[in-house]
């Protein structure tokens, strides 16, 4: 189906066959991103000393050579610093233990789970990016968390602006843009501070984390003397994208998980029975347990399907090559928008199983925080 969103022709792939065809079989041709006038306007405001002529930065909204190079590097380094490995599993478990202590400290009083979960999830990313974690009551970190959360909510409301960018000068969008820019400044200050600290203490023989590895790559590229997309300021966009893409998505899915378990207590009890059977009460779960827990795995997948937190995925754009590409249905012209799907994570399994095991669901559907252990 195709539809004009403002002046932009947008093609919606509405069935599995054409989505597979576009994003799997012809991935390269459909890996572009459309122009994003709002991101461009924000970048111009916050990064006055960097290349502000383009929105083409970071991982999520970037395209072409920059996207390919940054994505390849980021994937390799995320793996090197733990993604999918036991080392990261241990870090996640450490965060879970600290989270449970924080929940227990609420002493049965009502509390908001959201900031606690987001802090834990964000700390996992902090660990990979900067090699450190922050305490739940660290004031600086609380400000960063709130800004991240607000940005996620604010960005959702900018959808229309991408198609009618002039609206950003008119209320209520003017206020929305001011809020976004204020938060972005705040976040970039924190990112810059951490980058600069890393650069000051950089030792090529001791690469501690993602930021060190990126700085090292900049030096290697400099020595080669060739044109490169690896730059000090590009690192800020890459790290920011990993925070944004990896924090809210996972923590929101976990909150959906809690809600669905409250609503479907019969399912929760089955998950608890499987946990008791495979993991027991004496230790934290391992990823190795997941294969033996089909009901729990299926429940997590169903939570992701129902929670549907990124319903339209990120908008893709066709690139030069796809001019010649035919999907089963028709040919998609160069530069047009295309929409697609998402995936599960290690964090979800570990957090979910611990939450299900340690919480008691009262018959009225209330989660009893005093039962967290
Ligand atoms: C439940 C958790 C998550 C969900 C539902 C989710 C969902 C998505 C979706 C729908 C996209 C757009 C894919 C597309 O372009 O079609 C995406 C992209 C991306 N996600 Fe996630 N994500 C999750 C967790 C994470 C985590 C933990 C990280 C990293 C630490 C991450 C990093 C990224 C990055 C870097 C991209 C851009 C990839 C690219 O354009 O090449 N995500 N994610």
**The pLDDT value given to residue 93:** 93
> Which atom of ligand 1 is nearest to 253's Cα?
1
**pLDDT, average across residues 53-58:** 78
**The pLDDT value given to residue 370:** 44
Give residue 53's pLDDT band: very low, low, confident or very high (50, 70, 90): low
Gyration radius from the chain CA atoms? 22
**Straight-line distance from the first to the last Cα atom of the chain, in angstroms, rounded to the nearest whole number:** 51
Is the pTM of the predicted complex or chain greater than 0.75?
yes
**pLDDT, average across residues 331-355:** 69
- Give residue 332's domain range: 2-371
Three-state DSSP state, 12: strand
**The pLDDT value given to residue 206:** 96
> From the CA of 23, how far away is ligand 1's center (Å)?
14
Give residue 367's pLDDT band: very low, low, confident or very high (50, 70, 90): low
**The pLDDT value given to residue 342:** 34
Give 106-118 pLDDT, tens digit per residue.
888 888 888 899 9
**The pLDDT value given to residue 50:** 60
Residue 63 has pLDDT above 50, yes or no: yes
**The pLDDT value given to residue 340:** 42
**pLDDT, average across residues 304-319:** 84
* CB-based contacts of 111-116 (< 8 A; 24+ apart in sequence): 111/369, 113/255, 113/258, 114/149, 114/251, 114/255, 115/142, 115/145, 115/146, 115/149
Q: What is the CATH number of the domain that holds 300?
A: 1.10.630.10
**The pLDDT value given to residue 264:** 92
**The pLDDT value given to residue 49:** 63
> From the CA of 141, how far away is ligand 1's center (Å)?
23
What span, in angstroms and rounded, lies between the C-alpha atoms of 245 and 363? 36
> From the CA of 343, how far away is ligand 1's center (Å)?
8
Give me the number of domains the chain comprises.
1
What values do phi and psi take at 39, rounded to 5? Answer: -60, -40
What span, in angstroms and rounded, lies between the C-alpha atoms of 204 and 78? 18
Residue nearest to ligand 1 atom 37, measured at CA: 60
CB-based contact 300:350 (threshold 8 Å)? no
The residue with greater pLDDT, 298 or 55, is 298
Give residue 344's pLDDT band: very low, low, confident or very high (50, 70, 90): very low
**The pLDDT value given to residue 341:** 39
The residue with greater pLDDT, 87 or 198, is 198
Spatial CA neighbour of 353 closest among 241, 256, 222, 258:
258
Residue 167 has pLDDT above 80, yes or no: yes
CB-based contact 289:279 (threshold 8 Å)? yes
Spatial CA neighbour of 73 closest among 314, 237, 194:
237
Three-state DSSP state, 301: helix
DSSP string, 313-339: -SPEE--GGGGG-B-SS-B--TT-EEE
**pLDDT, average across residues 335-347:** 57
Share of the chain above pLDDT 70, in %: 87
Give 318-340 pLDDT, tens digit per residue.
876 555 556 654 566 666 666 54
> Which atom of ligand 1 is nearest to 78's Cα?
30
Q: Residue 326 has which token pair?
A: 């035919």
- Write down the mean pLDDT value for the chain: 86
The three state secondary structure string of 99-147 is HHHHHHCCCCCCCCHHHHHHHHHHHHHHHHHHCCCCCCCCHHHHHHHHH
Ligand 1 pocket residues where CB is under 6 Å: 59-60, 71, 125, 241-242, 245-246, 249-250, 253, 309-310, 313-314, 316, 340, 342, 345
Q: In what order do the strands lie in the sheet with 2-5?
A: 2-5, 8-12, 337-339, 316-317
**pLDDT, average across residues 223-238:** 92
> Which atom of ligand 1 is nearest to 61's Cα?
40
**The pLDDT value given to residue 334:** 63
Give 277-300 pLDDT, tens digit per residue.
999 988 889 999 999 999 999 999
Residue nearest to ligand 1 atom 28, measured at CA: 246
**pLDDT, average across residues 124-131:** 94
> From the CA of 238, how far away is ligand 1's center (Å)?
13
> From the CA of 265, how far away is ligand 1's center (Å)?
30
> From the CA of 373, how far away is ligand 1's center (Å)?
31
Q: Residue 65 has which token pair?
A: 């050579």
Most confident of 203-207, 284-288, 305-309, 352-356: 203-207
**pLDDT, average across residues 66-75:** 94
């Amino acid at each position: 189906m195709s539809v004009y969103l403002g002046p932009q022709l947008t093609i919606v792939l509405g069935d599995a066959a054409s989505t597979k065809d576009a994003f799997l079989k012809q991935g390269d041709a459909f890996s572009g991103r459309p122009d994003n006038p709002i991101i461009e306007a924000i970048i111009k405001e916050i990064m006055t000393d960097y290349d502000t002529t383009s929105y083409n930065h970071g991982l999520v909204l970037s395209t072409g050579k920059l996207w390919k190079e940054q994505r390849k590097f980021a994937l390799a380094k995320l793996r090197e610093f733990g993604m999918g490995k036991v080392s990261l599993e241990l870090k996640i478990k450490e965060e879970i233990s600290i989270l449970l202590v924080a929940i227990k400290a609420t002493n049965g009083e009502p509390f908001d789970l959201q900031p606690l979960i987001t802090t834990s999830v964000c700390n996992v990313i902090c660990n990979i990016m900067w090699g450190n974690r922050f305490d739940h009551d660290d004031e600086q970190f609380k400000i960063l968390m709130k800004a991240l959360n607000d940005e996620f909510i604010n960005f959702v409301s900018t959808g229309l602006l991408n198609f009618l960018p002039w609206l950003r000068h008119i209320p209520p969008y003017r206020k929305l843009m001011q809020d976004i820019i204020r938060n972005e400044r705040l976040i970039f200050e924190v990112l810059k501070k951490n980058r600069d600290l890393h650069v000051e203490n950089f030792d090529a023989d001791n690469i501690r984390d993602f930021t060190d590895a990126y700085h090292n790559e900049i030096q290697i590229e400099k020595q080669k003397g060739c044109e490169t997309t690896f730059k000090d300021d590009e690192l800020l966009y890459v790290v920011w994208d990993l925070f944004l893409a990896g924090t809210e998505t996972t923590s929101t899915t976990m909150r959906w998980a809690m809600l669905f378990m409250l609503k479907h207590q019969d399912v929760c009890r089955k998950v608890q029975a499987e946990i008791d059977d495979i993991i027991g009460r004496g230790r934290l779960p391992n990823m190795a347990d997941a294969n033996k827990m089909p009901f729990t795995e299926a429940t997590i997948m169903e939570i992701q399907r129902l929670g549907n937190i990124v319903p339209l995925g990120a908008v893709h754009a066709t690139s030069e090559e796809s001019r010649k590409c035919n999907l089963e249905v028709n040919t998609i012209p160069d530069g047009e928008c295309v929409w697609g799907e998402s995936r599960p994570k290690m964090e979800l399994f570990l957090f979910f199983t611990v939450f299900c095991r340690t919480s008691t669901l009262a018959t009225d559907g209330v989660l009893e925080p005093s039962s967290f252990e």
